[in-house]
Amino acid sequence: MSSTPEEFKSGFACFVGRPNAGKSTLTNALVGKKIVITSSKPQTTRHAVRGIVHRPDAQLILVDTPGLHKPRTLLGERLNDLVKTTWAEVDVIAVCLPASDKIGPGDRFLVGEAAKVAKTPKVALATKADLVEPDRMIEHLAEIQALGEAAGIEWASIVPVSATSGFQVELVSDELVKLLPNGFPLYPDGDITDEPEETLVAELIREAALEGVRDELPHSIAVTIDEMNLREDRPADKPLLDIYANIFLERESQKGIVIGHKGARLREVGAASRRQIEALLGTPVYLDLHVKIAKNWQTDAKHLRKLGF
């Protein structure tokens, strides 16, 4: 039986935070499945992926945005625009401030920008709580309170959370849901994201390709999917999904890093991403990966369009 809007809440929340604050990991923890790539290299989230949390009393739609930062490229400018558009559209903004790091100028800038979206309620999340002792957490919570006051924000709540240990993940869900309007569910039961499967698959490949590469490479990697089809000559109980994908780099000189000696690294990337894709989609996968060059794609409007930005 579907609930009436009086007893059901539904709406959008977005995580705001400087790069590496733990936004993607928390989105995955709340949704209960890996739908957003995470990486120890900052600035890896490029899409406003929505994760959908289904609860008996609410549907919480999470929008994961890239970290706001000083733009250096056309891609950087587009990412910042995307962030601000998202903030203006959601019902609640959750600012992620990792307890493991001191609050810095980056956080102050970001909270100042969030304060400009005056009408939207804001929650502060002290992320990565597992990395600090209680004394440090108490200090961090006081700093968050002061940070809000300085920016003219009254936090609806301040919640310590660890996405990796699960500590207070439910409480974060409760606090966000409290701030949603009453309404019918916006997505069918069971849907966990409205990103097309192809985008999720491309992101998983990009994540695998990012593992262990040199610092300058992450921003240079883009992944596109040429084809994604169930193989036709297979019996229904033994499906196989064929995926043909491209890893785009900016320069010829980067190819060796991604491909490795005699293709060893590329094979690792293929095996790792195939496992992740199979876990996500629940179907055995044949993955064909090609490495290509799109010269200086981050600063070239035509390439950006072609790569989906």
Ligand X SMILES: Nc1nc2c(ncn2[C@@H]2O[C@H](COP(=O)(O)OP(=O)(O)OP(=O)(O)O)[C@@H](O)[C@H]2O)c(=O)[nH]1
How many of the other CB atoms lie within 10 Å of CB of 186?
14
Give, as ranges, the residues between 148 and 207 that touch ligand X (CB under 6 A): 162-164
Distances (CA, A) of 88 to 63, 84, 115, 244: 12, 6, 11, 37
> Smallest distance from the beta carbon of 139 to ligand X, in angstroms?
18
Nearer of residues 131 and 213 to ligand X, judged by Cβ: 131
Q: Which of 55, 73, 101, 130 binds ligand X (CB under 6 A)?
A: 130
Q: Does 254 bind ligand X (CB under 6 A)?
A: no
Whether 262 has a binding-site annotation, put simply, is no
Helix (H, G, I), strand (E, B) or coil at 131: helix
- Burial string for 149-158 (b: 16+ CB within 10 Å, else e) reads eebebebbbb
> Smallest distance from the beta carbon of 30 to ligand X, in angstroms?
12
| 33-41, 103-111, 200-208, 226-234 -> range binding ligand X (CB under 6 A) | 33-41
Q: Which of 11, 67, 185, 270 binds ligand X (CB under 6 A)?
A: 67
Number of residues that bind ligand X (CB under 6 A): 24
At position 168, the amino acid (one-letter code) is Q
Nearer of residues 101 and 268 to ligand X, judged by Cβ: 101
Q: Does 45 bind ligand X (CB under 6 A)?
A: yes
Whether 127 has a binding-site annotation, put simply, is yes
Whether 5 has a binding-site annotation, put simply, is no
| 73-81, 106-114, 124-132, 214-222 -> range binding ligand X (CB under 6 A) | 124-132
Q: Which of 59, 80, 86, 127 binds ligand X (CB under 6 A)?
A: 127
Q: Which of 10, 44, 246, 298 binds ligand X (CB under 6 A)?
A: 44
User: Which of 181, 192, 255, 224 minimizes the C-alpha distance to 61?
Assistant: 192
Whether 39 has a binding-site annotation, put simply, is no
Whether 22 has a binding-site annotation, put simply, is yes
CA pair distance 62, 43, nearest whole angstrom: 18
Helix (H, G, I), strand (E, B) or coil at 34: coil
Whether 23 has a binding-site annotation, put simply, is yes
- For residue 163 the two structure tokens come to 């996405």
CA pair distance 286, 273, nearest whole angstrom: 11
> Smallest distance from the beta carbon of 231 to ligand X, in angstroms?
33
User: Long-range contacts: 269-275, Cβ < 8 Å, 24+?
Assistant: 269/205, 269/208, 269/209, 269/211, 270/208, 272/208, 272/211, 273/204, 273/205, 273/207, 273/208, 273/209
Name the one residue in this structure whose structure tokens are 């985008």. 199
Question: Do 28 and 36 contact (CB within 8 A), yes or no?
Answer: yes
Helix (H, G, I), strand (E, B) or coil at 39: coil
Nearer of residues 164 and 182 to ligand X, judged by Cβ: 164
> Smallest distance from the beta carbon of 45 to ligand X, in angstroms?
3
Q: Does 42 bind ligand X (CB under 6 A)?
A: yes
Q: Does 304 bind ligand X (CB under 6 A)?
A: no
Q: Which residues contribute to the site for ligand X (CB under 6 A)?
A: 17, 19-25, 38-40, 42-45, 66-67, 127-128, 130-131, 162-164
